[in-house]
Chain A
Amino acid sequence: MLFAENLTKTYRSGERSLTVLHDISFDIEDGSSNAIVGPSGSGKTTLLGLCAGLDHPTSGCVSINGISLSGLSEDALASVRNQHVGFIFQSFQLIPTLTAIENVMVPLELRGERGIEPKAKALLTDVGLGDRLHHYPTQLSGGEQQRVAIARAFINDPVLLFADEPTGNLDSDTSAAIEDLLFGMNRNFGTTLVLVTHDLELAAKTQRIIRLKSGHILSDTRTENA
């Protein structure tokens, strides 16, 4: 499903350069759940950005669902994300000027699909927000906002779901509810999940944990869920 080969990312600032990822390679199977863990500055978010086609590697290549991202234009990458990928962010990243249901509909509207409102309503009902369809993000709590983000992530039936610290901004009770929701929907939709976190408890709920340190893969282990 997701194939990363010899990924290196170097940032240049004037005369100086900083390599944050060194020659990273891994392969993620269809329908699996995976966690990338590591301390701050280990390169987790950079790796997520490269895998999701949000950034270009200095060297190496990524392919999603058999599509190589190398050499694709910004617009072609955007199209790959729209067709195959879903996102959940730490800070929810809902569009503040759109209501909950409008936020959820965006990925399908982008494809030019019509009659998508029932699907968006159903997803919001599934995440427990059937009565808050027309609320704006500022009118929702953090947990509710993340539920809207989860509904949005699943509306385009993605084959691959990236979640960047999905519970990082939530209290423990809400976090537990969001984790249950995320893993439950992931199972129901048969989506491949790539989770970036520094929360080892959350990572342990996945089938595979890739540990990063200073831009290198420290370990790549299967969990008991595998």
Chain B
Amino acid sequence: MNTFVWRMAWRESRGNLNRLALFVACIVLGVAALVSITSFGDNLNRAIDDQAKTLLGADFVADSRIEFSPEAEALLDSIGGDQTREVRFTSMAFFPKADNARLTQIRAQEGGFPYYGVLETVPANAKSTLDEGDNALVDDGLMMQFGVDVGDSVKIGQVTYMITGRLISIPGESIAQGIAGPRIFIPLRTLEATGLVQRGSIVSHVRYVKLEDGSAEALSSLKEELDPKFEALRLDMDTVEDRKRSLGRTFGNLTRFLNLVGFIALLLGGVGIASSIHVYIKRKISTVAVMRCLGVGTSQALWIYVIQAAGMGLIGATTGATIGVLVQVILPAVLNDFLPVDIDFGVSWSAIALGMFIGVTITALFALNPLVAIRNISPLLAIRQSFETESDLPTDPLKWALYGVVGAGILACSLLLADNFEFGFWYFIGILIAFSLLGALGWAIARVFKRIFPRNSGFTIRQGIANLYRPNNQTTVMIMTLGFGTFLIATLFVSRDVLLNQINISDAKNQPNLVFYDIQTDQADPLLNVLASYNLAPLQDVPIVTMRMSAINGETLEELRANEKRRIPGWMYEREMRSTYRDSLSATETVVQGEWVPVAPDPFGLIPISVEKGVFEQLNLALGDTILFDIQGIPFETTVASVREVDWQQISPNFVFLFPNGVLEPAPQFRVMVMRTEDREQAARVQQQVVREFPNVSAVDLALVLSVAESLISKVSFVIRFMALFSVFTGLIVLSGTVIASRYQRLQESVLLKTLGARRKQVLAIMSVEYLVLGFLAALTGLFLAYFAAWAISYFVFETVFIPNFANIGILMAAVMSLTLLFGLLNSGDIYRRSALEVLREG
């Protein structure tokens, strides 16, 4: 390649800088999205590394679902250092000022936690007040919800505490965790007085440890020494490194997912680039033909424009990377509620390099195909204005080879961003299907309009519609870019509706909407009386017996853990399970194997139980296998008599192991009652009275679950919508690009119309018809795909009914059409203003 090619590439681009600026803009946002997300991920990892110890607030944490045994206590004491004891459980908290209660996460603490990081409270020293009396620190969000202030009281179990501080943040925990389960800190010494921790209650016992030598080496050798001892004592040990790994996994997945959402913006930009270059090269045919006449070789002509495309790719990627670096300042604010650490701004060179590499690669891939058409421009075109018809399908084998290269390049970029072959591959296939469908629809629409052309309608409508299938039309590219953007955003909205609908369906008539649990046997009758005073009767009244599994077919759990055939879930090994007994199956259960035995034939013999299908398969059980349970210290030998399928989505107590009547009746137990209240007001009133009279009883109110789910889903979908905006804006830039790229042709048409007497209003009306129809079709196609995706998600993932929300369809449709019309007309504004003579002279 000689200097002539470089010089021509530069000179040739000078007069086209405006047009090239739009090519550049096509990839700017895609690269910006990638750079901002990857930089954010890098900064997050750095923050996690820098603030590692604050993730736990201690050097390590030991926890167990059962009370620490004397041996465990002795072992923990022998480690020394500073230690904080905590007992964690869920319970209702009643706020007398608001006369209202809510299920909360109680943390009864004693000690200097946190040892690293800050427990942020208002007032700042509020934590120390826990040592001074019956004081409590309450989650800020919860206090705002109930309109209570510092100095007001909260009743937990039998104890009324004075609120001495608002909890703003806890080291290593995000705000979202507080939304799901608002936290209340109380002094450990007051725990017993609450009366909430009783046999069978689900409670975590936690010990935060700060070592005298908290170095990584010391911690690592201590962990090695403690691991076998902890395992023997059924203690779980969580170190900073463990937490970092798990956070790294979670946020790694999040940033990868967001990167893939951002990558779509880049792909849309790629489509824009391909279409713009296609039009650009068409305008360059005579220039290339003249150059060829003067002796420019085919490869030289090609290189001139390849250099221009590469140059604009580089400029676009650099601009995108710069914007990306700036956008990442906003991201922590967007994701703030999910972050367990504070993130500082930092430039990640590796993120910039990755974003620019992928940006330039995508530009090159999409630009190459229209560029190779230069090879076929004959010098003869300089002396002869020939009209060469193009077939719909490219016959040039190089073009087909390039399609293969484009596909391989997109697959490689997907794999690089997904960091997981399977996910990256299916992502690529999804993209391929969506793009192919959109492309095919665009192609079909142009042809359908040609066939069903409204010959009898007015001049402006006929002209506008004809623009959809004329040479150099924008139909396919517009359907692809706008359609994909609409598809992406609509899928998010629709999936959110599906998720919320699913909860709403449970709110349907006759379904339970209020659950009381942890009811002691002696509280059952008085509680039933309270319910009766509200005209309520439980739909289900279920006894709960806690137990531990100790052996399967004679093999102890320790032996089973080493057995690869049976995958013992951690929860089964570590904690007590809750089971029930009854003589019939509930509406949510179906026996799929064996036979359900309603009453045990011999209470002292082998007890026939029923096992849930998933666990049955996970444990690799067979009918007739024996399982030994330890129920409050007494061994019970059971046999698997049946397997049940359970619909876990229903609001009703469901169980993995189901005992027949005639065995567990004498065992210590508590009850769960499930009912349906008439409305939310009745639910609130009955909850208040129950919590006041039976402080240990907890309630799950479906209205609350719904509002919590809605709030969390809204926060998550806000983050995804933020990323999807990159795609939408890219779609609009591509729209501007295609409008401007085809302006030359429009200009000539408009000038001719103007010369023949068309008024400004008529020219604008023709364009409006075209853009409105394009916007309508793009939105319709995108929505069609989104609804198909949402149907698939509901059917296959949530296994629920999908009911489309037609109001939302209308709003989205109107929005996309208005934006298309607005951007189309904004970019065509000066077409009518140009003088006819000037344009005809250019032609």
Contacts and interface: CB of A to CB of B under 8 A. Distances in A.
User: A and B bound?
Assistant: yes
Interface of A: 45, 48-49, 52, 54-55, 74-75, 78-79, 81-83, 87, 89-90, 93-98, 102, 106-107, 109-110, 112, 136, 138, 152, 164
A97 B20 CA distance: 13
B10 to A, nearest CB: 10
Contacts of A112: 2-4
Interface stretch (B379-387, B477-485, B674-682): B379-387
* Most central of B3, B16, B300, B380 by chain A CB within 10 Å: B380
Nearest to B16: A97
Interface in B679-727: none
A102 B14 CA distance: 13
A136 B384 contact: no
B383 A48 contact: yes
A45 B384 contact: yes
Given A75-B299, A96-B287, A97-B16, A106 B384 contact: no
* 5 cross-chain pairs, A with B, having the tightest CB-CB distances, nearest first: A82-B295, A97-B15, A75-B297, A54-B379, A93-B290
A93 B292 CA distance: 12
Given A81-B295, A95-B290, A106-B291, A136 B15 contact: yes
A81 B293 contact: yes
Interface of B: 2-4, 7-8, 11-16, 286-287, 289-300, 378-380, 382-384, 841-842
A79 B379 CA distance: 13
B382 A89 contact: yes
B14 A97 contact: yes
Nearest to A79: B295
Contacts of B12: 95, 97-98
Contacts of A55: 378, 380
Nearest to B298: A74
A54 B293 contact: yes
Contact of A83 (B287, B289, B295): B295
Contacts of B297: 74-75, 78-79
Contacts of A138: 841-842
Contacts of A82: 294-295
B382 A93 contact: yes
A87 B294 CA distance: 8
A95 B293 contact: no
Contacts of B299: 75
A190 to B, nearest CB: 21
A56 B186 CA distance: 94
A39 to B, nearest CB: 16
Nearest to A165: B383
A81 B294 contact: yes
A127 B7 CA distance: 25
Given A55-B380, A89-B383, A107 B15 contact: no
Contact of B384 (A49, A83, A94, A110): A49
Contacts of B294: 81-82, 87, 106-107, 110, 152
A49 B383 contact: yes
Contacts of B293: 52, 54, 81, 87, 93
Contacts of B2: 112
Contacts of A94: 290
Given A49-B384, A78-B292, A96 B15 contact: yes
B398 to A, nearest CB: 15
Contacts of B383: 45, 48-49, 54, 89-90, 164
A152 B294 CA distance: 9
Given A78-B295, A97-B15, 12 more contacts: A75-B299, A78-B297, A81-B293, A81-B379, A89-B382, A90-B383, A97-B12, A97-B287, A107-B294, A110-B295, A110-B296, A138-B842
A82 B297 CA distance: 10
A81 B300 CA distance: 15
Contacts of A74: 297-298
B686 to A, nearest CB: 80
A54 B380 contact: yes
Contacts of B15: 96-97, 136
A164 B289 CA distance: 15
25 contacts: A49-B380, A49-B383, A54-B292, A54-B293, A54-B378, A55-B378, A74-B298, A75-B298, A75-B299, A79-B295, A81-B294, A81-B379, A89-B382, A93-B286, A93-B382, A94-B290, A97-B11, A97-B14, A98-B11, A102-B11, A107-B295, A110-B295, A112-B3, A112-B4, A152-B294
A107 B841 CA distance: 27
A19 B633 CA distance: 105
Given A54-B380, A96-B287, A78 B3 contact: no
B238 to A, nearest CB: 66
A95 B288 CA distance: 9
Nearest to A48: B383
Nearest to A102: B11
Contact of A95 (B287, B295, B384, B842): B287
A83 B295 CA distance: 8
A61 to B, nearest CB: 18
A74 B297 CA distance: 7
Contacts of B296: 78, 110
Nearest to B842: A138
B53 to A, nearest CB: 62
A198 B842 CA distance: 26
B217 to A, nearest CB: 66
B385 to A, nearest CB: 9
A112 B1 CA distance: 11
A137 B576 CA distance: 88
A75 B379 CA distance: 11
B690 to A, nearest CB: 82
Contacts of A97: 11-16, 287
Contacts of A106: 8, 291, 294
A90 B290 CA distance: 12
B305 to A, nearest CB: 12
B458 to A, nearest CB: 37
A77 to B, nearest CB: 8
B151 to A, nearest CB: 76
Given A54-B293, A96-B15, A97-B12, A87 B380 contact: no
A46 to B, nearest CB: 8
Contacts of B378: 54-55
B527 to A, nearest CB: 87
